[in-house]
Structures are given as structure tokens and as C-alpha cells.
Amino acid sequence: MCATCGCGNDEGTRVSTVHAHDHAHPHEHPHEHPHAHPHEHEHMHAGVPVGDTQTRTLELDILAKNDTLAATNREWLTAREIIALNLMSSPGSGKTTLLVRTLTDLGTQVPVAVIEGDQETLLDADRIHATGAPVVQVNTGAGCHLDADMMRKALESLDPADGSLLFVENVGNLVCPAMFDLGETAKVVVISVTEGDDKPLKYPQMFAGANLLVINKSDLLPYVDFDVSACTEHARRVNPGLDVVVVSATTGDGLTGWYEWLQHIQPQLAV
């Protein structure tokens, strides 16, 4: 996890708000990547190389601190009756496409807001902004996940309305985001059919912690070797109560199942 992969600090993290007429020019921003070459650094803690036991202690410290901040976020969200969904997946599974479609279809029924997580660029925030939804982009630099402190900063910047349905698109990564509680109401893992139906077995932590599995890109099923039943069975082997919906974010097939799950979370939605 992150104490060993080198992404466990927030140096280089930036939170950006996307405003109307304020389009992104990411090339104009300085890009500082103080930890962009973890292979060149020896892992040090208190001046000594970090061995297995020390690495584990450092991991636990990071996660304990994160859990404390996440609990504060959860209280903050609960006090405002904001429902926050943490969307996680490998890069490119279709999180932003699903969100754009969802915001377009449901966006005016309840207040909505989005926090976008990516290592670099405002590209996803721009796509969300085009739907009219309030959005902030968190760029994590070398980091490979959002953490509770980034979430807190993003909430301060975004200031979602009371009663909002808040979507948090995590950094594309099927490993580290599973470790970091953000204070969200529920976790949604998205997998696309081009990734292989064995992923729940190979990356069990992500699926074990999720409340919903969205299997996306169902329109590509005729062209790829992906067994929906096997994927579902693999996911439920690590998480027996996991809800599963099969959708195509581009064609709209199966989205009713996704919207019904959202309605279960936010009963004010009509689907």
C-alpha cells in the first residue's frame, strides 16, 4: 500500500474550482513533483531505512490519522444531510462518463456536487462542469488516491448545499483508494468489461469494501471475453452482500438499475 508505493503524502496536492468562463490551462501551472521518482529514494523513517516492521508501523500511522480525519468529514456531511458516494475503479473504466450521464439525467431533482480526483489536469472537472453541476478538481501529483484530508479541503472549496448528493470520483486505481476512508456514505466500485472478470479475486480489498459494483461498458460484451455471472460470483465471494448492476454509460443500457440504487440511497430521487 501507500507507505511502500511512495504516494502516502499530500505534497503537490492542488484543489481547483472550475468556474464558468474559467477554463483550464493546465500547461500554465507549475508542475512540481518532488516525489515523482520513488525508485531513487530509500524509504526512511526517523533517519533509518524502513524495514518490514517499520513500514507496517508507518502504514498504520497513516491510516489511523486518515481514519480520524474521515470521521470528522463524516460528521460534517451528516450534519448537512449530504450523501457522499466514493466512486473507485481502474483508470478508464468509465467513472466520469457514468457521472456525466447521471448528472444529465437526474441532476435537477436534488442538489448535486462532484469532487474529481486525478493526478493531473482539470479534464474530468471540465466534463462535469459542462453538465452545470458544481465541481472541484483535486490533483494529487504523485499520489495515487484521495485521502480524508484532501476530501476535507475539497469540501471547504466546494461547499455543497445541504441535502446534496455528492459524487467523489477517486483517482483511477484499483488498489490504494480502497485503504483510505474519505468519510463517504457508501463506496461504489466500477469495473469495465474490458478489464477481465477475475479482477475481484485479484484485487479483493476494493471489492470487499464496496456497497455497489457497477459493471460498465456492457455494449462491448459481444467483443470481449468477459463473463458477467463469473465476475459477480467472484465479487460476492469477497463481499457476499454486494449489490451489482450492469450498465453501458454510453448507450444507457441498464442505467435504471444504477438509478434505482441511487434512489435507495437518496429516496428523494424519482427514477
Ligand X SMILES: Nc1nc2c(ncn2[C@@H]2O[C@H](COP(=O)(O)OP(=O)(O)OP(=O)(O)O)[C@@H](O)[C@H]2O)c(=O)[nH]1
Site string for ligand X, 165-184 (x = CB under 6 A): -------x------------
Task: In angstroms, give the least distance from the CB of 262 to ligand X.
Answer: 17
Task: In angstroms, give the least distance from the CB of 172 to ligand X.
Answer: 3
Report the relative pairing of strands 135-139 and 243-246 from DSSP bridges.
unpaired
Give the C-alpha distances (Å, rounded to integers) separating 58 from 3, 51, 65, 149, 174. Answer: 7, 10, 11, 17, 22
Residue placing its CB nearer to Mg ion in the complex, 50 or 115: 115
CA dihedral 32, 34, 36, 38 (to 10 degrees): 180
Tell me the β-bridge partners of 137.
16, 116
Grid look-up 449489490 returns 243
Instruction: Name the residue whose CB lies closest to ligand X.
Output: 172
Site string for ligand X, 210-229 (x = CB under 6 A): ------xx-xx---------
Site string for Mg ion, 17-56 (x = CB under 5 A): ----------------------------------------
Among 124, 147, 195, 197, binds Mg ion (CB under 5 A): 124
Exposure of 142 in the CB half-sphere (CA atoms within 13 A): 18
User: Residue 244 belongs to what H/E stretch?
Assistant: strand 243-246
Neighbouring C-beta atoms of residue 30, cutoff 10 Å? 4
Neighbouring C-beta atoms of residue 46, cutoff 10 Å? 7
Q: Which stretch binds ligand X (CB under 6 A): 72-80, 89-97, 199-207, 234-242?
A: 89-97
Instruction: Bin 169: left if φ > 0, else alpha if -120 < ψ < 50, else beta.
Output: beta
Q: Which stretch binds ligand X (CB under 6 A): 70-78, 88-96, 149-157, 203-211?
A: 88-96
Q: Which residues, 92 to 111, sit near ligand X by CB under 6 A?
A: 92-97
Residue placing its CB nearer to Mg ion in the complex, 74 or 129: 129
Residue placing its CB nearer to ligand X in the complex, 77 or 247: 247
Contacting positions for ligand X (CB under 6 A):
89, 91-97, 118, 124, 172, 216-217, 219-220, 248-250
Contacting positions for Mg ion (CB under 5 A):
95-96, 124
